[in-house]
Amino acid sequence: MINLFSTHIASLSIHRVGNKSRNEGIFLSANPYRLDDELTPLLKEYFFKPFRDKEENYFQFTHDTDLEFHELYTLVSEIFEQPDTVHEKSKALAKYLFDQSMHPHIKSGEVYVAYLENLQIDNEKVNGLGIFKSEIKQDFLQFSEKENQLDAVLQQGVNLNKLDKGCLIFNVKKDEGYKILSVDSNRYDTKYWLENFLGVDAFEDENFFTKKYLKFCQDFAKDVVLPAEDKQQEVMFMNRAVNHFAKNDTFEETNFMNEVIDNPALVPEFQHYKTEKAPKYKIEDLTTFPIANTAVSAARKKIKNVINLDTNIQIKMDFINPESAEKFVEKGWDEEKQMYYYLVYFNKEQKS
């Protein structure tokens, strides 16, 4: 979990980067930007709001050979070691971004490099680096009074309600490539920001493993449980899977299979499915790992727990109390109507 409420912008450098393939230039500011009390809170909201509203999917710098050959990783490490060099390093950082701006769709824009203090991540206060880019300009009217006439002038500027691109690099896990959060609102070239510039891959921590394993379970339920049994059992399998994650601090695959897979015939199917699909989820050798509660909560919101019937009726299962659906919902076949049915038992209707 992150908390940016007390984060302080200790230094801010602003440069402009054009599209290199269109022969647009680069403008590097000679000095850091002087922040004032009026603009600082607006910029903090502009920079940080997308990260407060976004699910925490962490990345890390990665390189095929070694991190020491990763140019951006090296620049960031030098800044963390000597924060007073951040402005000069920000120029090199802007030049590096300029070198990646070769795709014809990439827009020119302002690059903001902020040295940040008092970021909170996983209940630890650390320093960090923010790299942000504004690309989309919006029209607005500026008015001026001239004698007895009000004049309107059309101008263009940056909308402070929407950050186009940005990342927060936390000064933790240096040897693993730091923990990084990224946003990209304009996906005209998805490789430009994450791959070409940042050069990152998913950070493989408990959040990553929890999320990936639950996604694997969701696909197993859809691809194997549903065809072998029915929609009710697909939903109930995911109910049991999510609740198993929610009530345990550590995942143990054997315990998971014993508790979640009701039908013994599906156990070898589960093992075969994992062997076949594991590379897709990066869980090949994953049998035990710490469980991230935030990832479980996020997965619970995304997993559908509704049975949609072709008679325009929906049956909603309860993720918190899955045993109710098992005890009080029965499926059958009506010979006279030649239709399936669900029989639901209850004592009284609950008031909304």
Mean confidence (pLDDT) of the chain: 89
Residue-level pLDDT at 320: 59
**305, HSE (Cβ side, Cα atoms, 13 Å):** 20
User: In the chain, what is the straight-line distance between the N-terminal and C-terminal CA atoms, in Å?
Assistant: 34
Q: Pick the residue with more confidence: 320 or 307?
A: 307
Half-sphere exposure of 28 (CA within 13 A, CB side): 13
- 222-251 pLDDT, tens digit per residue, is 999 988 888 888 888 988 899 899 999 999
The C-alpha atoms of residue 326 and residue 89 are separated, in whole angstroms, by: 61
CA atoms within 13 A on the CB side of 175: 0
Per-residue pLDDT at 322 exceeds 80: no
160 neighbors 176 (Cβ within 8 angstroms): no
pLDDT grade for 1, boundaries at 50, 70 and 90: confident
pTM: 0.78
Q: How far apart are CA 326 and CA 239, in angstroms?
A: 11
Q: How far apart are CA 301 and CA 339, in angstroms?
A: 32
From the list 207, 225, 325, the residue with the least C-alpha distance to 267 is: 225
Q: At what angle do helices 253-260 and 231-247 cross, to 10 degrees?
A: 140
- Give mean pLDDT, residues 284-305: 83
Residues in contact with 25: Cβ distance below 8 Å, sequence separation at least 6, in sequence order:
18
User: Is 4 strand, coil or helix?
Assistant: coil
275 has a pLDDT exceeding 70: yes
